[in-house]
């Protein structure tokens, strides 16, 4: 799974994921930090990267619009507001998700990032 973090997520997350062997790019690193949400999703699709965002409301809507308009993307991972500012928790959750989808998400898939259940 190749990931693309939109501008609302820290580029430190991308660096930490790469250190764990997860192919990750950040909007901040590729000059897309000021792009609109639709531009972010289109960029991720062109790069065959699953978009990761904490902007749940807007990207959930963009996911529905993509299906309705038959505009495929490379998947969207929505990070719960409970992760806000918790870089380590986001890195850990994404590092657990990535190996489950080695070929990436489907072209219209939208999933939610969750914390690891308590043991």
Residues ≥6 apart with Cβ < 8 Å to 4: 24, 25, 26, 27, 40, 43, 44, 47, 49, 50, 51, 52
Give the model's pLDDT for residue 116.
Answer: 65
Residues ≥6 apart with Cβ < 8 Å to 57: none
Tell me the average pLDDT across 75-89.
85
pLDDT at 118 over 90: no
pLDDT digits (tens, 9 = 90+) for 23-50: 999 999 999 999 999 999 999 999 999 9
- The residue ranking higher by pLDDT, 81 or 52, is 52
Residue 39, strand partner residues: none
pTM over 0.85: yes
Contact (Cβ atoms closer than 8 angstroms) between residue 74 and residue 42: no
pLDDT at 119 over 60: no
pLDDT at 93 over 60: yes
């Amino acid at each position: 799974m190749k990931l693309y973090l939109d501008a609302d997520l820290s580029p430190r997350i991308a660096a930490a994921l790469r250190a764990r062997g997860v192919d990750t790019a950040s909007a901040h690193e590729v000059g897309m930090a000021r792009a609109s949400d639709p531009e972010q999703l289109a960029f991720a699709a062109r790069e065959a990267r699953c978009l990761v965002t904490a902007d749940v409301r807007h990207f959930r809507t963009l996911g529905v619009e993509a299906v309705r308009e038959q505009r495929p993307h490379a998947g969207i991972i929505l990070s719960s507001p409970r992760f806000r500012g918790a870089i380590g928790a986001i890195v850990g959750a994404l590092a657990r998700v990535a190996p489950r989808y080695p070929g990436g998400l489907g072209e219209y898939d939208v999933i939610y990032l969750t914390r690891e259940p308590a043991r």
